[in-house]
Chain A
C-alpha cells in the first residue's frame, strides 16, 4: 500500500492571528508493506502528517493518495471508550471480530484476562496496550502510530516497544510511526525518515535492512548510522530491549 504525498501544504491559525505553516510544498512517497518511522523533534509536524493521512485534517493544498484499504491508528493518548469494556472497545473498532481473534489480539499485547476490565481501571501503560491491540485487531492495510510510547517510563517503553516489534514483524502491512526517539525508529522501522525545519521537510531517509529481531544487540552500531540525530540520554546504555 503505497502512500503518495505531493505538494502538501498545511497551516494553522495562531493565537496572535498569524499562520503557523507546518508544511509547504511537501512531497513524500512511501512504499507499501513497509514500516516507516517519521523521526523528528516534538512539534515538528509528524503528528500533523499522520492526522492528514488519517483524514482528520484537510490539507491547505496538495494531495495525499492512499490506495483503498482499512486504516487504523493509535493516538498519543489511548482514546478508549471508558463506558465500554476492553473487549468491547476492540469489537467496536473491528466489527465481526471473532472471539478467537479477539483473544489473539489481546494476547499479542499481553492483555490476557483483561477483556472484561474497563479503561478507568487500567494504568496508562495497559491502556496504551489496549489501544495498540485495538489498532491491530482491525487488521488494517495502513497502521498509523502517533508516539506510541509517549509518557511511559523507560521500562514500560522498552517492553511495549518489544511487543510492538514482534507484532509488526508478524503482519504484512504498511506502518507509519511518528516518534521523537531515535531508538524507537531504529528498532522498529524498515526506513527512517527524518523530518526537520519549519515548515517541515524530509531531511534524510535511512534504510535499515537488519532483521528486527537482531537489532536489540546491535543498537549501538545502528545508532552510528544516524549521527545526525541525538539519542535520548536515558537510552544510552546500549542494551535497550529485554523481553
Chain B
C-alpha cells in the first residue's frame, strides 16, 4: 500500500517537475508512455529489449560458470591462490570501460567481443565470492564423506554444493546488478542494436522521451528479476539454516 503511494508520489513529482522544466529537459510521464507505445507497436521495443536481455543473460551465465570454477579452484588450492591473487586484485580494480574498449579493440566490434566484455567485467567478482565459499567449506563434513566412502558425485551434490549455494546466490544477485549496467555501456560503444544503442541514439538527438522510454522498462525488468527470481533463490539457498540452530 505504502509502496503504491510512494510510486504515485514519484509520478506526481515527475509530472510537476516536467511541467516546470519543459519537455526539452524532462518529458512528462504521458509523453514517455506514448513513445514507449509507439516503439512497441513498431516492434523496436521488443527487439531491443530482447537483445539486451539476451546479452545480460549470456554474459552473466558465462561469468558465473567460469568465475565459479576458478573461484572454487582458488579456494581449494592456496598455492594457486597466492599465484593468481594479484591478478585478481588488478582485474577487480580495472574500470569496466577499459575492459570494454580493450575487448572491442582486440576482438573487433562484434557480438563475441561484446559478450566477452560483459562476462570479463563480472568474472573477478564471481571468482572472489566463490573463493570465499570454497574456503568456508566445512572440512569435518568432507571427512565424514570420506569415511563413509561417498562417491565423488555425492560429495559435491550432497556435501559441498549445499554449502556453496548461498555464495552462488550472492554472486548471482550482485552479478546481475553489475551486468545490466555494463551491458548498456557495451551496447552504446559498439553494437548496432539493444537498449544501450537506443540510448546512444537518444543522446545524439537529445531525445529524452526516447531515452526514458527505453530506460524505464529495462529498469523495471531488472527489478522484477531481482525480486521474483534472485531474491527468492537466495532465500531458498540456505533454507536449512532456519531449521533450529
Contact = CB atoms under 8 A, between A and B. Distances in A.
The finding on whether chains A and B are genuine partners in a shared complex, rather than unrelated, reads: yes
A81 B147 contact: no
B104 to A, nearest CB: 44
Contacts of B146: 55-56
Chain B at the A interface: mostly helix, strand, loop or mixed? helix
Nearest to A144: B147
A56 B143 contact: yes
Given A118-B240, A120-B245, A73 B162 contact: no
A83 to B, nearest CB: 4
Interface in B207-240: 239-240
A133 B179 CA distance: 48
Contacts of A94: 148
B141 A79 contact: yes
Contact of A79 (B140, B149, B240): B140
Given A120-B241, A120-B243, A81 B141 contact: yes
A75 B144 contact: yes
Nearest to A131: B144
Contacts of A134: 148
Interface in A61-99: 70-73, 75, 77, 79, 81-84, 92-94
Given A81-B158, A81-B159, A84-B158, A120 B144 contact: no
Interface string A166-181: 0000000000000000
Interface residues of B, number: 19
A232 interface: no
Contact of B140 (A71, A75, A84): A75
A189 interface: no
Q: Is the interface of A mostly helix, strand, loop or mixed?
A: loop
A195 interface: no
A105 B133 CA distance: 34
A118 B158 contact: no
A77 B144 CA distance: 10
Contacts of B159: 81
A126 to B, nearest CB: 11
B22 interface: no
A119 B245 CA distance: 9
Contact of A82 (B143, B144, B154, B243): B243
Contacts of A77: 140
A138 B148 contact: yes
B86 interface: no
B10 interface: no
Give me the 7 closest cross-chain CB pairs, A-B, nearest first: A120-B244, A120-B243, A83-B240, A93-B148, A118-B243, A83-B162, A79-B144
24 contacts: A54-B147, A55-B147, A70-B149, A71-B149, A75-B140, A75-B143, A75-B144, A77-B140, A79-B140, A79-B144, A81-B141, A81-B158, A81-B162, A82-B240, A82-B245, A83-B162, A118-B240, A118-B243, A119-B243, A120-B241, A120-B243, A120-B244, A134-B148, A144-B147
Interface of A: 54-56, 70-73, 75, 77, 79, 81-84, 92-94, 118-122, 134, 138, 144
